[in-house]
Amino acid sequence: MKWFDYGNDRIGMIELTASVTSIVVGVGVLTLPRLLATDTQSSDGWISLVVAGMLAMVTGWILANYCKLLHDKGFYAFNAKLVTKPVAALVTSIIVIYFLLYAAYEVRSIATISKQYLFDRTPIEYIALAFLLVTAYAAAGSREGIIRLNLLFLPFVIVIALAVLIFSVGIFNYHDLKPFMVSDWRGLAAGTKDCVFSLLGFEAVLFYATMIKKPSSAPKAVAIGIAIPVLFYLALYIICVGVFTRPALKEIMYPAVELAKEAEIPGEFFERFESLFFVIWIMTIFNTTCMAMDVSVHALASMLPKISRIRWVIMLNPVIFLICMLPEDTDQISKLGDIISYSGLTFGIGVPLLLYVYALLRGRKANA
């Protein structure tokens, strides 16, 4: 079978921004308001969100500058010359494992939530397998196709997200946000950690460096791509506190979905708005999972180019499915999410930042 080839394999600023937003906005947004309500007092979670957003944007800006160095060769090839092939292969392999875990977590989370809200009689294994197979089909195609899917789906996600927020204003109580600034630094720090975890994923930009049309525009595109989810998370959290109150918000497993249930649509022509919200939200989780799988496949193909892309997808899918089925309950799913988040901070962001600093130092020495 011959796969369709796009005439233009380069991505501009808009495509990169949409892709960063798509991979950042995953299942984390559905639970983040509850985590912030647990960590902080009153409505002070917005402080943690702003701090985490600034940290993520600065980090994304730095990694996007690293992409300028990777543009001609790619992540593995560039670092193979920078720190030798064995070290580059080790780092790349660890990042592959991280993104495989990332994809597995997204698949299991969407399967669990889908069973609770949409398919209560369907075994969770079937839901996860169906979602994984559709994602694998997309990942087996061209990378350009995935980028264009991000650009296609994102407007629908933004529209439905804004609709949920706007339709919830009628039941929003400003007084539930008071008092202000009453959380201690420990609570704010815990909230910042949870927010940072929810904003992970933008490090995938390192593996799209060779596709960027203008590397000089990458830092701005990545920063905007991170800023969009931060602004949405901020509005979602504030409205959730004003609608449910903080004590109630702490007990709601998926506040974003419950907010869609409570939204008052003028004319009452649509009874189950949360179903529409959730179906549309599956689009962005599909994109998130697709990009995580694509990064893993691309990284492996860069080290072992003789194995075709579709073969990597076929080999990795059973691994992803087995991993996503390991957690037995929501607590274990949360623990898996924490493991993935710490791995992302360490190997997805920390190690590439060190490599970038080392590359800059070597460049200065060479020019001295």
Mean pLDDT of 65-81: 89
pLDDT value at position 368? 42
Q: Please name the residues in contact with 202: beta carbons below 8 A apart, sequence gap of 6 or more.
A: 20, 23, 24, 56, 59, 60, 63, 222, 225, 226
- pLDDT bracket for residue 267 (50, 70, 90): low
Question: Bridge partners of 11?
Answer: 212
Cα separation of 73 and 75, whole Å? 7
pLDDT value at position 268? 61
**pLDDT higher than 80, residue 3:** no
Question: pLDDT digit string (tens) for 77-114?
Answer: 999 998 889 999 999 999 999 999 999 999 999 998 88
Question: pLDDT digit string (tens) for 217-247?
Answer: 889 999 999 999 999 999 999 999 998 988 9
pLDDT value at position 31? 87
pTM for this one? 0.91
pLDDT value at position 2? 44
pLDDT value at position 366? 47
CA distances (Å), 41 to each of 35, 178, 186, 222, in order? 11, 10, 11, 31
pLDDT value at position 270? 61
Average pLDDT, the chain: 87
Task: Give the DSSP letter string of 68-108.
Answer: HHHTTT-HHHHHHHHH-HHHHHHHHHHHHHHHHHHHHHHHH
pLDDT value at position 271? 64
Phi, psi angles (nearest 5°) of residue 60: -60, -40
pLDDT value at position 105? 93
Domain boundaries along the sequence of the chain: 13-356
Instruction: Show the DSSP H helices in the chain as ranges.
Output: 13-24, 28-39, 45-70, 75-83, 85-117, 124-139, 143-167, 185-198, 218-244, 246-249, 255-262, 273-303, 309-324, 330-343, 351-367
pLDDT value at position 89? 94
Residue 189, exposed/middle/buried by CB under 10 A (0-12, 13-18, 19+)?
A: middle
Q: Please name the residues in contact with 291: beta carbons below 8 A apart, sequence gap of 6 or more.
A: 19, 22, 23, 146, 150, 201, 204
**pLDDT higher than 90, residue 260:** no
pLDDT value at position 269? 59
Residue 308's nearest CA partner among 85, 135, 141, 95 is 141
**Residue holding tokens 């195609």?**
141
Element containing residue 177 per DSSP (H, E):
none
**pLDDT higher than 70, residue 1:** no
The CATH architecture of the domain made up of 13-356 is: Up-down Bundle (1.20)
Question: pLDDT digit string (tens) for 304-359?
Answer: 988 888 999 999 999 999 999 998 888 888 899 999 999 999 999 999 999 999 99
Cα separation of 342 and 53, whole Å? 17
Mean pLDDT of 54-71: 92
For residue 293, how many other CB atoms are within 10 A of its CB? 29
Give percent above pLDDT 90 in the chain: 46
pLDDT value at position 101? 94
